[in-house]
Amino acid sequence: MMRNLLLSMGAAQWMLPALLVVPVVSALLVRLLGRDVSRDETGGEAPSGGPDARVLTLAALGVEAVLGLMLWICFDPAVVGWQARVDLPWLVDLGATFSVGVDGLSMPMVVLTAILMPLSLLGAWNNVRVRTPAFGALVLLLTAGLIGVLVSLDLLLFYLSWELMLIPTYFIIGIWGTGAAARASLRYVLFTLVGSLLMLVAILALWNMGGATSLHLDDLLQIRLDLSTQLWMFTAFFLAFAVKSALIPFHTWLPDAQGSAPTFAAVTLGLKVGVYAILRFAIPLFPAAATHPVVQEVILVLSVVAIVYGAMVAMSQTDAKRLVSYSSISHLGFIMLGTFALTQQSVQGAVMIMVNHGITTSALFLLLGMLQDRRGTTDMRDFGGLARVVPAFSVMFTLAVLSTIGLPGTNGFVGEFLVLLGTYGERPVLAIIATTGVVFAAVYGLRALQRVLFDRLDGAPNRALADLSRRELAVMSIFAVGIVWMGVAPAPVLTRIDRVSRSIVEAARFGPNAAPAQASLSPSP
């Protein structure tokens, strides 16, 4: 009923443009009209006049969340192809259009992002109290960039959205970060920018090979490319997305960036938009390269290395934020393993991990941000016995950690199980090795719980810690519901990504640009 009502209002024609326009316009309003909550670095109260910039930012992000829920309601899992599609003329001479749409791959990520942004800001409400109008404007521009990456069907629009993510994140980390924030933000920019430039060159080459008439994904998919051309183009795209995703050996920037970033930026850095871009663009455009035996084997091996290496390094961390960062690298390995195993189950599992990782990692970074706001540190050696002092925090932290180690009944289990199940039939050796990452995850996760919550309670600062406020508890309760719901009843999400995961595999294996010899996957080791 609600779906029919929204469709009768023409929601399919304006939902996606609104998701992009609202944050951009709101960013300008927040910067011009928003009141700073502090005068200076000392945190003194700002002069009166105008609404709190944080409130304006939250209101705009709340509109994004409502639009995301509307998109979820309007989406029809039975429909094949793009939904809520909008095509508007843009740069006609270049063949570029303002073309946006969603399918079963992008829709869950768009909804997750739209809901995650206001929750992250609300959960980290007091984390940033200096130059809040500028911070709010950058947050909104970052939101527009993230949504743009997920809904763009035109490669020029996609590239501009991709770059739009870079700029706000750089300033947010550099200005409001802690520790070696300037170094971390610079490394983030340099790593990401190099990959982006390689992708731009490949986009221009692809556009030229298509007759310089269109940059739309549907049109570019029809271009016939020989294997050698696909290989170097795929390499350019893959490097850009692998760097952004922090795949080994391009991972070194992520722990530094998330360790120094304010809580909100640490959350957004955990969203795996790089892997989404691989599934959306790199594999469909260059399937013969993606399924080339050498390319596939190298990426699968790197994925398994990331699983094991990320988990083992996480075991040695004393700082909780860096531990979560390295666990994120390990989870990325599972996502890449499922993506390039290229079975229907493994790809479906990879998408599930992307969504669930956004929920779980965001919850962990928010909880650690709350802890850092209270104690000024996330070094686990400075804590112990907090379960006796902050029970609500302890329950939420335990649930999030159990999710990240993939405990059955939590959201972390579903995707990993599907990835391992789908990979085993094609790459049994790699699948078996990957399961060791689950064991290592249990080690670092349970050890973190022991250090922070259940060791000896020592020190006056720990004894005086305040538990979660009503605002913080409300935010974390939503994450808790998501963790349990996605773990116990994942069918609504699985149903929506079933068709697109199957189509990605079929296009890679049997599509017009697939290599004739790749009708079946490369031989198992």
Buried b (16+ CB within 10 A) or exposed e, 13-34: eebbebbbebbbebbebbbeeb
pLDDT of 94 reads 84
- What integer pLDDT is reported at residue 143 of this predicted model? 95
Q: What is the Cα 127 distance to its own chain's centre?
A: 21
Helices (H), ranges, 210-319: 217-220, 227-245, 253-260, 263-269, 273-277, 283-285, 287-290, 293-315
Handedness of CA 222, 223, 228, 229 (dihedral sign): negative
Would you list the domain boundaries of the chain?
291-525
pLDDT value, residue 375: 86
* Cα maximum dimension of the chain: 70
Q: How confident is the model at residue 511, as a pLDDT?
A: 67
Fill in the amino acid letter for 273: V
pLDDT at 80: 80
pLDDT for 29 equals 92
Contact between residue 171 and residue 163 where contact means Cβ atoms under 8 Å apart: no
What pLDDT is attached to residue 120? 93
3-state secondary structure of 40: coil
In which residue ranges of the chain is pLDDT below 70?
38-49, 511-512, 515-525
pLDDT at 518: 46
- The one-letter code for the residue type at 428 is P
Q: Rounded to 5, what percent of the chain is helix, strand, coil?
A: 75, 5, 25
Measured distance CA(135)–CA(38) in Å, rounded: 13
